[in-house]
């Protein structure tokens, strides 16, 4: 067909145009810039708390504030922890135990979770009688729920194995916007510090930046050689960090529209499952399939520390909003707080 061939040619030409435009702004590399900067000193964090209580693999953890966090395990429970005391504030039994993600609302009023049930369930923590109940079940995805993040008490963004992300109105339970474009399962998402955009990482090896209000994909970043499992914003919102099954993490700068640095080591051959930047962005903490968490100097791309202590895969990681500690969750059923 004439039009198909024309479109194919135009697509190739546009891809070449993007490659050329990216190259045109490469006046200096990040490596050139940081050549005169010293690597940060060895970072040695200790386990300060171990949160015990889950009976099976932990798949996700998310901080609500700098004290409370929520974790999800395939024992069919969401647990809200007071990380200072290790007390369980809430232990919420789930309808479906095949949970893959959880999230804490910024207000502290709600938590959400989802997984192989293809739904995102919202729980109200501040109900009148003190019981935690399901407030809403957001159903429309045709694949598993891999990640969810609240924008506020009435809006949440989800990513799914059906290759889409969705912005939901929690009150009405309806999809406000469907973000379609990925060619593989969406595995992870991160919301920008200014809440105007979000990023998604997928099994098509790309990361995409989306405008939350108009639903448009603004930028697509490639380079990884396998599924992207983890994604997060650099604290100033100008860069995105990804972690992949190809054993590397990458930093993509949004304003120059390209990859600036890769965090990899010939000694690391297993996939990255999770990542979180420290408060200043200088450190990137990344969880791996080999039961460890590596700490990277984000500017020099050198490993400056290791968190070892889990007896199985580190599946999730999060740094507190005040930057005081990081929490790792593992298939060994424990969460550890480090600083």
By C-alpha distance, which of 14, 10, 5, 97 is closest to 57? 97
Strands 155-160 and 164-169 come out as antiparallel
- Rounded Cα–Cα distance for residues 53 and 50 (Å): 10
Cβ 246 to other proteins shortest distance, Å: 23
Site string (255-294) toward other proteins, x via CB under 8 A: xxxx-x-----------------xxxxxx-x---------
- Rounded Cα–Cα distance for residues 125 and 211 (Å): 30
Match 């989802």 to its residue by tokens. 114
Under the criterion CB under 8 A, does residue 28 sit at the interface with other proteins?
Answer: yes
Binder to other proteins among 42, 216, 265, 302 (CB under 8 A)? 216
Task: Please state, as a whole number, how many other Cβ atoms lie within 10 Å of the Cβ of residue 212.
Answer: 20
| Dihedral, 320, 322, 324, 328 alpha carbons, nearest 10 | 10
- Rounded Cα–Cα distance for residues 67 and 51 (Å): 13
Select from 7-15, 54-62, 139-147, 263-271 the region that touches other proteins (CB under 8 A): 7-15
Binder to other proteins among 137, 302, 311, 322 (CB under 8 A)? 322
Site string (81-120) toward other proteins, x via CB under 8 A: --xx------------------------------------
Site string (300-319) toward other proteins, x via CB under 8 A: -------------------x
Q: Which residues contact 44 (CB under 8 A, 6 or more apart)?
A: 305
Q: Specify whether the CB–CB gap between 101 and 147 falls below 8 A.
A: yes
3-state SS assignment for residue 23: helix
Select from 5-13, 114-122, 264-272, 308-316 the region that touches other proteins (CB under 8 A): 5-13
3-state SS assignment for residue 94: coil
Select from 12-20, 92-100, 105-113, 194-202 the region that touches other proteins (CB under 8 A): 12-20
Chain residues binding other proteins by CB under 8 A are: 1, 3-4, 7-8, 10-11, 14-15, 17-18, 21-22, 24-30, 32-34, 37, 40, 43, 45, 48-49, 67, 83-84, 181, 216-220, 234-236, 238-239, 253, 255-258, 260, 278-283, 285, 298-299, 319, 322-326, 337, 339
């Amino acid at each position: 067909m004439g039009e198909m061939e024309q479109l194919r040619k135009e697509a190739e030409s546009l891809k070449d145009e993007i490659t050329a435009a990216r190259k045109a702004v490469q006046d200096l590399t990040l490596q050139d810039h940081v050549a005169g900067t010293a690597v940060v000193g060895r970072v040695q964090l200790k386990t300060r708390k171990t949160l015990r209580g889950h009976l099976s693999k932990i798949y996700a953890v998310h901080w609500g504030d700098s004290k409370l966090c929520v974790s999800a395990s395939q024992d069919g429970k969401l647990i809200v922890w007071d990380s200072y005391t290790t007390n369980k504030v809430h232990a919420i039994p789930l309808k479906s135990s095949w949970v893959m993600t959880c999230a804490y609302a910024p207000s502290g009023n709600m938590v959400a979770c989802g997984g192989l049930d293809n739904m995102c369930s919202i729980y109200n923590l501040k109900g009148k009688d003190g019981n935690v109940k399901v407030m809403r079940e957001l159903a429309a995805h045709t694949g598993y729920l891999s990640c969810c993040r609240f924008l506020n008490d009435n809006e949440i963004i989800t990513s799914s194995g059906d290759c889409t992300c969705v912005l939901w109105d929690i009150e009405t339970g309806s999809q406000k916007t469907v973000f379609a474009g990925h060619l593989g399962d969406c595995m992870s998402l991160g919301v920008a510090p200014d809440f105007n955009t979000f990023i998604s990482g997928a099994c098509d090896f790309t990361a995409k930046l989306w405008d939350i209000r108009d639903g448009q994909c603004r930028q697509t970043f490639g380079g990884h050689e396998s599924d992207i499992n983890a994604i997060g914003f650099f604290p100033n919102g100008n860069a995105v960090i990804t972690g992949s099954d190809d054993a590397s993490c990458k930093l993509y700068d949004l304003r120059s529209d390209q990859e600036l640095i890769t965090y990899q080591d010939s000694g690391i051959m297993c996939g990255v499952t999770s990542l979180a930047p420290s408060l200043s962005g200088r450190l990137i903490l990344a969880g791996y399939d080999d039961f460890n968490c590596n700490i990277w100097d984000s500017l020099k791309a050198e490993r400056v520390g290791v968190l070892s202590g889990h007896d199985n895969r580190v599946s999730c990681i999060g740094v507190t909003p005040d930057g005081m500690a990081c929490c790792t969750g593992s298939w060994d059923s424990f969460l550890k707080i480090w600083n």
